[in-house]
Amino acid sequence: DAVLGHQCHGTEVAWHPSARAPLRPSASALTLLDRIDGHATGSPGTLLLVTVADCIPVYLLEPRKRILALLHSGCRGTAGGILGKGLALLRERAQVEPKDLVMHLGVGICGKCYEVGAEVIEGVGLRADGDGPWHVDLRERLTHQAREAGVREISISGWCSAHDRDRFFSHRASGGRDGRMVGYLGFGA
C-alpha cells in the first residue's frame, strides 16, 4: 500500500499500523488521506509519500526496529512543530527515541531564496529585526529543532528547488506554474 496525504501545510501526522499487501512493482493501492502532512509506520510494505515543491521533506528512520516517518515541512509546519509531533508519535506508537533516529532533510528551497514575512520569521523562533524582507532556511530551523529533541544523526541535502530549477520543481521560483515532486520512504517485507 502507498499512502499520500492531501497536505494542508499543517502538523497532522498519521500512524499506519499495517499494509494490506506487500509492495510489488505492479501494486496500485494508493490511499489518499485528507489534511495529513506526515506519515509514520513500522509496517513492511507501506510506502509513505508526500508532495513538495519548496517545502522540506523530512525523512526519519530507526534502522534497527525498521520504523520510519516522512513529513512535509513548510514554514507553517516547521513553525507549528510537525517535527516534534512526528517524534512524539514515533515514541508513543513504536517506542522510538529521537537519539536512535537517522534524519535526512531533502531537497527544498534554500534560505537565500526563501523570502518571508515577519510572521514566518517569528513563527520559526527567530526575531524579525528591521523592515524586511527576511529570509529563513527551513532546513537550518528543522536541524535546530531535531538537535534540541535529541536527534543525533542528521544529513541535509544541498540542493535548492529554486536555484536548481533545471532539476527540481519550485512553486516560488515558477510563480506557481511548476508541478510537485514526490518524496517517498518505505521498506519491503
Q: Which residue has the higher pLDDT, 167 or 150?
A: 150
Residue 10 CB coordination number (10 Å):
18
Which comes out higher in pLDDT, residue 26 or 176? 176
Residue with cell 535546530: 144
Residue 86 pLDDT > 60: yes
> What is the Cβ-side half-sphere exposure of residue 142, based on CA atoms within 13 angstroms?
34
Q: Judge whether 73 and 11 are in contact, CB under 8 Å.
A: no
* Per-residue pLDDT, 54: 92
Residue 166 confidence (pLDDT):
85
- What does the alpha-carbon distance between residue 48 and residue 20 come to, in Å, rounded to a whole number? 14
pTM above 0.85, yes or no: yes
The per-residue pLDDT for 185 is: 95
Quickly tell me which residue has 530549477 as its cell.
165
pLDDT, averaged across the chain: 89
The helix/strand count (H/E) of the chain reads as: 4, 12
Spatial distance between the Cα atoms of 34 and 7, rounded to a whole number of angstroms: 7
- The b/e string for 46-65 (b: 16+ C-beta within 10 A; e otherwise) is bbbbbbbbbbbbbbbbbeee
State the DSSP code for 97: -
Q: What is the mean pLDDT of residues 50-66?
A: 95
Cα 86 to Cα 47, 83, 121: the distances in Å are 17, 5, 22
Distance CA 15, CA 111 (A): 31
Q: Is the link from the previous residue into 133 a cis peptide, with omega within 30 of 0?
A: yes
Q: Beta strands 67-73 and 38-41: pairing type?
A: antiparallel
Chain centre distance of CA 17: 20
Residue % of the chain over a pLDDT of 90: 65
Task: Give me the residue label for grid cell 510563480.
Answer: 175
pLDDT at 49 over 50: yes
